[in-house]
Amino acid sequence: MAGRFCVSLTSAKNNPDASTVAFVVANAAAASAKETLVFLSTEGVRLSQKGYADDIREEGFAPLKELMDNFAKAGGKVYVCSPCFKKRKLDEANLIPGATIVGGAKLVEFLGDGTPCITY
């Protein structure tokens, strides 16, 4: 069952529940042989920074860092919205493994041909 799957995440510490569930679903997609992308935008871009997710632990779920590490190990990709990243003056040298700063065209390209996308 090849194909692509996108999870769009617009939250970080402001909504640890949504941030965590987004990566749970992304891991489910990666584990189901989907080429999986997590697109971080608005507040979600903060998760692209190493160490930021270390203290996010939502009751009933694995720690977010563990979920994100597993996602990277499973070959998942993380796209980071460039203008959202710049607006928050985050550090390009401190990106988590698998993260790439992109603009809209890269996301549009990934979502071509009817690729499904779920938003948190």
Partner 1 sequence: MDYSFERDPSTADMSPSGLARRIADILQTLHRFDGARCADCGGPFCRHETLMSLVLGYKDAPRCLPCLARAVSRDPDTLGAEICAYILTKECLHVGWKWAQLREPQCPRQIRTPAPPQADPPAAPEAPSPDATWNAGDTGCGELLLELRTRMLSLHPMQVLKITALDPGAPEDLPAWCRLTGHRLVLARHPDYWIQRKEE
Residues 79-98 that bind partner 1 (CB under 8 A): 81-83, 85-86, 91-93
Q: Which residues pair with 99 in a beta bridge?
A: 78
Q: Minimal distance in Å, beta carbon 88 to partner 1? A: 13
Per CB under 8 A, the segment of 5-13, 26-34, 43-51, 107-115 that binds partner 1 is 107-115
Closest distance between partner 1 and the C-beta of residue 77, in Å?
11
The CA distance from 90 to 26, in Å, is 24
- The answer to whether the CB of 116 falls within 8 A of the CB of 8 is no
9 sits in which H/E element? strand 4-9
Rule CB under 8 A: say whether 55 interacts with partner 1: no
